[in-house]
Structure 1
Amino acid sequence: MRVAERLEVDQGNGVFTWQWSRQPESEEELKEWQECKDVLSTNGFSVKAVKKSLIVERGTNHPPNFTWCKWVPIKCNITAWRGNLDRLPTRVNLRRRNVDIPSVMCPLCGDYEETVDHLFTAYSVAIRVWSAFNVWCNIPPLFFFEFKDILDSHKLIRNGIQAEKIFYGLVIIACWCIWKGRNDTGF
């Protein structure tokens, strides 16, 4: 449904109609809803304003740009790009999107919430993948704490621009393999 379809104009005034999949319940959700209503009633709605707000709210956790690797399959680039934005459908992200799932715990280890960072940096299989990756590439061990660290790891390679590009592509492919392995195990 489009935003315009939710706006009913009555005597020159726009009133938004809300069609919730579930009603806001927590104090935080109610506060965010009230802030949204306030912004819409005073400033109206524009895609440009929302985009600007999202960029400002993103902060420094995620770099604004993602470098696409032209020689790897598009599905690998998209997985890394979505991981960089924390938009992969992990259990935590699904819950955030109001998908009714029984648990946000990682179905693979059961010890932690399934987030992008957990799945690619802290999950025991991912740690073993990165360890084998380091040995295969003949580089010292790399340790990652966030998904962003994985995508920045190619900057640590000091064997020239071509080697850096190759390493970056291999990192993107390895991320896709971890994601595919998670999906194959879960489904």
Structure 2
Amino acid sequence: MDKEVKLETRIIKNDPSNLFCWKWIRPPTGRTLSELNRLCDLLNGFSYENGETDKWAWNLHPSETFYTSVLTKLLDEKILPNANMSFETARLHLLPQKIGILIWRVMQERIPVRVELDKRGVDMDSVRCPVCDDDIETAEHTFLHCEFAKDIWSRIFRWWGSNRHMYSCLGDMFKGDIGGSKSKLWQSIEWVCGYHIWRNRNLTLFQRKRGNGPMALNEVQIKSFEWISKRVRKCSFEWSQWLINPSSYDDQV
């Protein structure tokens, strides 16, 4: 719950020392207290002719009251004016929230691939892909052009029963479009596949444990079955059927 930060002060009437009587939700400390003392020094000796109660006014909100939630929104609008927010940030109800967070970061190009780290001044030995070493590591390369990614996507398409083998660009991925139609089940499998591509990248980079296509396909099949079957109540998933023809459950999720 957002807490209102209330700043109010008044001058005690007819007080020759012109003392302030402050009302704080939290007493100021550290740098805030130092700035407050400097402000008091600046106002020392200042007289109010009308004798009315004085208060702080925050001009960025109609109520003239400071709210942290309003300030956060203003900062986001100022700092991130060109952010691509067209991709839905809501998670798929068929998968854990952590999967949706990762995929959103991928589509916004906010994952720590080596090119992005290099832009931010992180000192690295190389910006090449740690999995295939064929090109520099960007988000598009990691999830689309890396040999491991191309292999797993090809296997996933075949498992679904599609004659497609690859995506043309990063923007085509993770949206659930298959054969010209939208499928929540296929989108869930796409997201799980993206999760395992990123997981394989991290295992390769940090633990020197590189996976392979058959192993990755098996992991996607197991985890997608585990997550989706537990969240769909209106039908019963059979493991054997899931391995043979996952698209047969498309109309039941």
Higher Cα radius of gyration: 2
Global fold match (TM > 0.5): yes
Cα 1:169–1:109 change in 2 (3 A) is same
Q: Which residue of the other structure, out of 156, 163, 178, is the alignment partner of 1:133?
A: 156
RMSD of aligned Cα (Å): 2.8
Q: Which residue of the other structure, out of 77, 87, 98, is the alignment partner of 2:121?
A: 98
Aligned to 2:205: 186
Aligned to 2:184: 165
Aligned to 1:68: 91
Match status 1:89 vs 2:112: yes
1:67 is displaced (CA, Å) by: 4.1
Aligned to 1:174: 193
Aligned to 1:148: 171
Relative to the length of structure 2, the TM-score reads 0.49
Relative to the length of structure 1, the TM-score reads 0.65
1:47 is displaced (CA, Å) by: 4.1
Q: Which residue of the other structure, out of 108, 111, 118, is the alignment partner of 2:134?
A: 111
Structure 2 unaligned segments of length 5 or more: list them: 1-30, 40-70, 207-253
Distance 1:93 1:112 in 2: 14
Aligned to 2:76: 51
1:75 partner amino acid: K
1:68 is displaced (CA, Å) by: 1.5
Distance 1:117 1:132 in 2: 19
Structure 1 unaligned segments of length 5 or more: list them: 13-45
Aligned to 2:15: none
Offset from partner CA, 1:116-141 (integer Å, 9 cap, x none): 11000111110111111110000121
Offset from partner CA, 1:39-93 (integer Å, 9 cap, x none): xxxxxxx64444224553235xx62533411121233222211111111111112
Provide the identity percentage. Answer: 26
2:184 partner amino acid: K
Larger % of helix: which? Answer: 1
> Highest relative contact order (Cα 8 Å, sep 6+), 1 or 2?
1
Name the SS of the counterpart of 1:58 in structure 2: coil
2:195 partner amino acid: W
Aligned to 2:248: none
How many pairs were matched up?
144
